[in-house]
A and B are shown apart, each in its own frame.
Chain A
Amino acid sequence: MEYLLLQVLNGVQLGLLMFLLAAGLTLTLGIMDLVNLAHGSLYMMGAYIAWTLIGVTDSFVLGTLLALPAIFLLGVAVEIVVIRKLYARDHLTQVLATFGLILFFNELVRALWGPAGKSIAVPGFLNRTIEILPGVPYPAYRFAIIVVGALVAILLAWLVARTRLGMLIRAGASNRRMIGALGVNIELLFSLVFGLGAVFAGLAGLMAAPIASVRIGMGDDILILALVIIVIGGIGSIKGAFIAAMVVGQIDIVGRAFLPDILKTFMSSSAASSAAPAISQVLVYVLMAVVLVWRPTGLFGQRT
């Protein structure tokens, strides 16, 4: 029972990280109608920039806090130099151009930081366990990810539902040309939203860094998962992205944690432990296929 609780928490933590990544993607897709494959590169840049700044400042908190505005500026710069030219183009052009950006960023990281992976240590004050229930210890750092992730999700929900910027974002998602015609500075709005998405992606990257590793291409695979999440949730829907991220997080973790034991009943233990992660990944894609066949525009997507 405790084991199950811990695994569910791990699933929530993974789900929140992926939600942070998916939130920026679904905003850019919903509002700017832009497929941004390079979103995973911003996740990677977040981790690498944080690694450098933590090294310079010698403080996890300070380095992290400095990394976020840096990612924002990077995101805005990418938007101005490349992304802005893609809004009016078809999806194929966007896929191609942002695929080019991925190659660029992966190689840039290799040139600047070298081919070897980096690691960010868990900060001292979080390098312990806390009791989430009496007698049930849980790593404090992972718990901190859940707290930060949940706070950001709430912040985002508030931002989109209650603020003027959020109102413009929602208006932009339903009719881009109309809000432009109403005198809203669309260029500025798009830059801001893209920068915001970059911050979320970078935050997810740097928070994941101490539990995973900081390496070239770390964003490429998780990007595909984030795309799957927004497609399941329905493009442009923050709520859909959140729900889908939670479901995918649970499938992934529960698959890794419990499938090996189930598989061991009918196959060798080494085969079971290597097949389980693959099967849980496959389950995620099967889920997506089922959702799309059932609802071709995702769970909360706009019907056309």
Chain B
Amino acid sequence: MMAALRTPRGLATALILLVLAVLPLLTQAFDQRYLLSIGTRIVIWSIAAVSLNMILGYGGLVSFGHAMFFGIGGYAVGILSAEGVSSGWIQWPVALLAATAWAALIGALSLRTRGLYFIMITLAFAQLVYYVGSGLEAYGGDDGLNISRSRFPGLIDLRDKASFYWLCFALLCASLWFCGRYANSHFGLVLRGAKSNELRMTALGFPVFRYRLAAFTIAGALGGLSGILLANEGAYVSPAMMSWMKSGDLIVIVVLGGMGALFGPLYGTIAFFVLEEALPPLLNLAHKGWGEYWMIVFGPLLVLIALYARGGIDSLLGRRHE
């Protein structure tokens, strides 16, 4: 434990987790409420990125539709809330079940394809969910739906920003713990083996398809959880939360942080949100008015990252011990 703190990676990760753990106290002390809401979104997006990393990072499966699980988790909560079911004890299990079942179904269909076709079919399923969401006129259609936050009477009040943040943070820690166990288990090793050489793993007698399907389903369930949290964060769901651009953002985050690195999704999400918040003021400093067009810098930055920094932030922190 203490030895891990002596490496740059261990130290950086410990510092990040420490700051995240006390973030509500910090934002209160400095009276920066706005930062807490960014912090909450960072934590929720990190959970989604951890789930994508499970298939993209460890499995090498480029799913270009991961934001659909934001939508499924979010809409399950939203629809139940609109129908008067406000108890989180019902909403959350239903939403998780929906995300898991959907992931299992489309995983079984998508994993029959390879490479580019897999990218496209996952994208197509995400678009399908997107258009179903925008066609649900009874639940706001394109405009989305205002919801009330899930109720857990006597346990936690999600309307309290700090408690909600800590709940999200606890779930992030649990996801990271789970992902660490997952990656180094027999299951994770088979998955990583299939990523580097599918043919060999098949020849060794491993049912690669089943392992991948299980991974896809687990990732879908965890993605659904992040959708539940995202819906509760804004008290709002809309098709925009699962547009294909969001799926693209998630891939960017996972690659930016470092694919197949346990804490990569966390670094990636923080870097992504910090860039989003910091680039406009920085550009404004260079020339007043430029800040509005920060994507002109961010886009090419992404191209450079894709071309020259595929190891992501994780690789800047030194070699990994496997």
* B28-36, B73-81, B96-104, B113-121 - interface stretch: B113-121
* B39-47, B164-172, B295-303 - interface stretch: B295-303
In Å, the complex CA distance between A275 and B107 comes to 27
Quick check: is A227 within 8 A (CB to CB) of the other chain?
Answer: yes
Across-interface contacts of B294 in A (CB, < 8 A): 107
Number of A residues whose C-beta is below 8 Å from B?
50
Q: Which of B117, B245, B300, B307 contacts A104 (CB 8 A)?
A: B300
Quick check: is A196 within 8 A (CB to CB) of the other chain?
Answer: no
In Å, the complex CA distance between A270 and B117 comes to 37
Across-interface contacts of A235 in B (CB, < 8 A): 116-117
In Å, the complex CA distance between A120 and B296 comes to 26
Q: A95-B251, A274-B135, A296-B112 are in contact. Are A224 and B127 (CB under 8 A)?
A: yes
Question: Are B302 and A220 touching (Cβ within 8 A)?
Answer: no
Q: A274-B141, A278-B132 are in contact. Are A103 and B299 (CB under 8 A)?
A: yes
Q: Tell me, rounded to whole Å, the shortest Cβ–Cβ distance linking B209 to chain A.
A: 13
Q: Tell me, rounded to whole Å, the shortest Cβ–Cβ distance linking B74 to chain A.
A: 17
Q: Which of A101, A227, A282 contacts B135 (CB 8 A)?
A: A282
DSSP majority for the B interface? helix
Quick check: is B306 within 8 A (CB to CB) of the other chain?
Answer: yes
Across-interface contacts of B306 in A (CB, < 8 A): 89, 93-94, 96-97, 100
Quick check: is A102 within 8 A (CB to CB) of the other chain?
Answer: yes
Quick check: is B95 within 8 A (CB to CB) of the other chain?
Answer: no
Quick check: is A288 within 8 A (CB to CB) of the other chain?
Answer: yes
Chain A residues 108-126 with CB under 8 Å of chain B are: 108, 110-111
Q: Tell me, rounded to whole Å, the shortest Cβ–Cβ distance linking B174 to chain A.
A: 28
Across-interface contacts of A96 in B (CB, < 8 A): 251-252, 255, 302-303, 305-306
Question: Are B113 and A285 touching (Cβ within 8 A)?
Answer: no
In chain B, what residue has the closest Cβ to A99?
Answer: B248
Question: Are A227 and B120 touching (Cβ within 8 A)?
Answer: yes
Chain B residues 214-250 with CB under 8 Å of chain A are: 244-245, 248
Question: Are A285 and B119 touching (Cβ within 8 A)?
Answer: no
Quick check: is B137 within 8 A (CB to CB) of the other chain?
Answer: yes
In chain B, what residue has the closest Cβ to A228?
Answer: B124
Quick check: is B62 within 8 A (CB to CB) of the other chain?
Answer: yes
Quick check: is B148 within 8 A (CB to CB) of the other chain?
Answer: no
Q: Tell me, rounded to whole Å, the shortest Cβ–Cβ distance linking A238 to chain B.
A: 17
Of A99, A104, A107, A110, chain B has the most CB atoms within 10 Å of the CB of A99
Quick check: is B23 within 8 A (CB to CB) of the other chain?
Answer: no
In Å, the complex CA distance between A279 and B131 comes to 7
Across-interface contacts of A296 in B (CB, < 8 A): 112-114, 117
Quick check: is A264 within 8 A (CB to CB) of the other chain?
Answer: no
Q: A95-B64, A99-B248, A107-B295 are in contact. Are A227 and B117 (CB under 8 A)?
A: no
Across-interface contacts of A292 in B (CB, < 8 A): 109, 112-113, 117, 120-121
Question: Are A285 and B128 touching (Cβ within 8 A)?
Answer: yes
Chain A residues 64-79 with CB under 8 Å of chain B are: none
Question: Are B123 and A224 touching (Cβ within 8 A)?
Answer: yes
Q: A96-B306, A99-B248 are in contact. Are A228 and B120 (CB under 8 A)?
A: yes
Quick check: is B293 within 8 A (CB to CB) of the other chain?
Answer: yes
Across-interface contacts of A95 in B (CB, < 8 A): 62, 64, 119, 248, 251
Q: Give the B-binding residues of A (Cβ under 8 A).
A: 29, 35, 37, 82, 85-86, 89, 91-97, 99-108, 110-111, 220, 224, 227-228, 231, 235, 270-271, 274-275, 277-279, 281-282, 285-286, 288-289, 292-293, 296-298
Sample (22) of A-B pairs whose CB atoms are under 8 Å apart: A35-B116, A96-B251, A96-B252, A96-B305, A97-B306, A100-B299, A101-B299, A103-B302, A104-B295, A104-B303, A107-B295, A107-B296, A110-B293, A274-B135, A278-B132, A285-B127, A288-B120, A289-B124, A289-B128, A293-B109, A296-B112, A296-B117
Q: Give the A-binding residues of B (Cβ under 8 A).
A: 62, 64, 109, 112-117, 119-121, 123-125, 127-128, 131-132, 134-135, 137-138, 141, 244-245, 248, 251-252, 255, 293-296, 298-303, 305-307, 310
**Nearest 4 CB-CB pairings of A with B:** A278-B135, A100-B302, A104-B299, A107-B295
